Amino acid sequence: MLHTRLTDLAANTQLDALAPLANNGYLQIYDGDQPATGDTAIVAQVLLSELRMNATAFNAAVAGVITAKAIADDPSIAHDGTASWFRLLKSDHTTRLWDGSAGTADANLILNSVELREGARLQVASFTHTLPKQGA
């Protein structure tokens, strides 16, 4: 059984190395079920909205968490749907970085509303990524 327990220093160092990969990246918001892994191809889920990450996407890690800097609004949502998860891509618009949950609370990506309507504006309230510091 693995019993890894990272220090804040170790977790923050890993996250600070990961964060620059998202600089100028793309935050894609989908409906439906989140795929099993970040490497799993998207098949039936609908891309509802896509936002561009800041040139410096995340602040420095604190206590094993990185918090995104301001993300520009999507002025016109592409499709109606219920946002349930996201995929973050590098600036090449192809390379997958990670997936996570989307919601109005208790999610990696906090939106003002998950009921998205085509043509409406979408705002991100907050976006964080946490590195678990304790393994099972």
User: pLDDT tens digits for 10-46?
Assistant: 999 999 999 999 999 999 999 999 999 999 999 999 9
Considering only CA atoms, which of 93, 85, 71 is closest in space to residue 116? 85
For residues 108 and 101, what is the distance between their CA atoms, to the nearest angstrom? Answer: 5
Contacts of 70 (CB under 8 A, 6+ apart): 54
136 in any annotated domain: no
135 in any annotated domain: no
3 in any annotated domain: no
113 in any annotated domain: yes
Q: Which residues pair with 124 in a beta bridge?
A: 111
43 in any annotated domain: yes
42 in any annotated domain: yes
Helix (H) or strand (E) holding 18: helix 8-18
pLDDT at 2: 72
pLDDT at 3: 80
Assess whether pLDDT exceeds 70 at residue 136.
no
CA distances 74 to 18, 77, 131, 135, Å, are 25, 6, 27, 37
- Mean pLDDT within 107-119: 96
On whether the pTM is more than 0.85, the answer is yes
122 in any annotated domain: yes
90 in any annotated domain: yes
Cβ count within 10 A of residue 130: 15
Sequence letter at residue 90: K
DSSP letter (8 states) at residue 103:
E
Handedness of CA 10, 11, 13, 17 (dihedral sign): positive
Assess whether pLDDT exceeds 80 at residue 118.
yes
Instruction: Work out how many domains the chain is built from and give that number.
Output: 1
Its domain, for residue 13, covers 8-130
For residues 29 and 86, what is the distance between their CA atoms, to the nearest angstrom? Answer: 4
